[in-house]
Structure 1
Amino acid sequence: MSKLEGNERWKTKMIMTEHVEQYEEQQRENPDKMITMEERTMVRDLILLPYIDTMVSKSLKEIEPSSNILKRAYLMAGQAIQRRIMLDTYQLQKELKQRNIRVLADEQEEFLVYYKIFCRGYQERFGLTRDVMRTEISLRLTKYTAELGAILKDHLK
């Protein structure tokens, strides 16, 4: 029986040094159970992809009533990006499931969005600021657009 079991005082916000030592020892003994940076990046991407999909959907809805002569090209490009987002989402979900990692929305504050990560028996709280989310979404949309442009460029050669 560890020092924490059967002791209700562990529920307070204070952490005693022996508890910190126990936690660090537990991490040293089971490093493969903790979430890696690669997995953390995968979780971040999985969180951001639905936001990107929503933004692309809104953009497509704005284009539909337009009388722009390139409307059809814009719609096709947007739909291609949405398909890629769905494929990436599916692949990330599959990979995280294989690694025994689950992500659940937790709470939202004014500038932060929190998620719970359940990773191989451990639970962790993961937060993203809105500024970081905007930046990452912008980078990811730029990447999708560049990929689509490269495909079109190769096809038109």
Structure 2
Amino acid sequence: MSKKLEGNGRWESSRMMLPEHREQYLQRKEQAGAPVQPQEPGKSTPAQLPTKEELELIREFVLLPIMMTIVDKNCTEIGLSSYSMKSLYIKASQVLMTRIHDELSAVRKEMKRRQIKVFEDERVDSAIHYHFICRGYRDTFAMMRDVVRAEMSVRIARYVAEMFKAKS
């Protein structure tokens, strides 16, 4: 049997592991006395594991540009259409893109402050893969396309609801 499938190895190689579960797994591994990945080759100082908030920042950094691209594409398509209310949709899309851009700027600023860098690896049919460096700790991050779509739908609905929320 493959070494990755023995014991709990199946979870180590899973691409569908949620950041919260991975963080718990690494904390348990560290508490058990397993070595933590060093900062740089040759150094013996262990790298500090990313916190849940830092993993959420990485997730935001991945999702927000995708959302912005989708909204921009839809805005362009509506602009070329013959909808009678296309000016309303275009203005709403522009407000939405501004909101997403502002949020992305805040995420980038916080990532820079926390010394986090994210790089896109590959786009496989079912997932988008990234690797990140967080204060010397290196790891990979993958998001399933279905999860990305669902998260974008929820967020866009929330942003639209906030845009049209009646001011008290």
Say whether 1:75 aligns with 2:87. Answer: no
Q: CA RMSD in A?
A: 2.2
Separation in structure 2 between the aligned mates of residue 72 and residue 111 of structure 1, nearest angstrom: 35
Structure 1 or 2, whichever has the larger Rg, is 1
Quote the sequence identity (%): 34
Which has more helix, going by share of residues?
Answer: 1
Q: Which runs of 5+ in 1 are unaligned?
A: 1-19
Aligned match of 1:110 in 119, 125, 145? Answer: 125
Inter-CA distance 108–69: structure 2 relative to 1 (3 Å threshold): closer
Partner SS, residue 48 of structure 1: helix
Structure 1 consecutive aligned stretches of length 4 or more whose deviation exceeds 4 Å: none
Kindly provide the CA deviation profile for residues 102-151 of structure 1, in whole angstroms up to 9, marking residues without a partner as x.
1110122221211111000110100111111111111111121111111x
- Give the total of aligned pairs: 131
Inter-CA distance 106–25: structure 2 relative to 1 (3 Å threshold): closer
Say whether 1:23 aligns with 2:38. Answer: no
Separation in structure 2 between the aligned mates of residue 71 and residue 24 of structure 1, nearest angstrom: 54
Separation in structure 1 between the aligned mates of residue 114 and residue 105 of structure 2, nearest angstrom: 14
Say whether 1:45 aligns with 2:60. Answer: yes
Aligned match of 1:90 in 92, 105, 112? Answer: 105
Partner SS, residue 44 of structure 1: helix
Partner SS, residue 23 of structure 1: coil
Kindly provide the CA deviation profile for residues 26-57 of structure 1, in whole angstroms up to 9, marking residues without a partner as x.
7xx968x2111111111111101111111111
Q: Which runs of 5+ in 2 are unaligned?
A: 1-31, 39-44
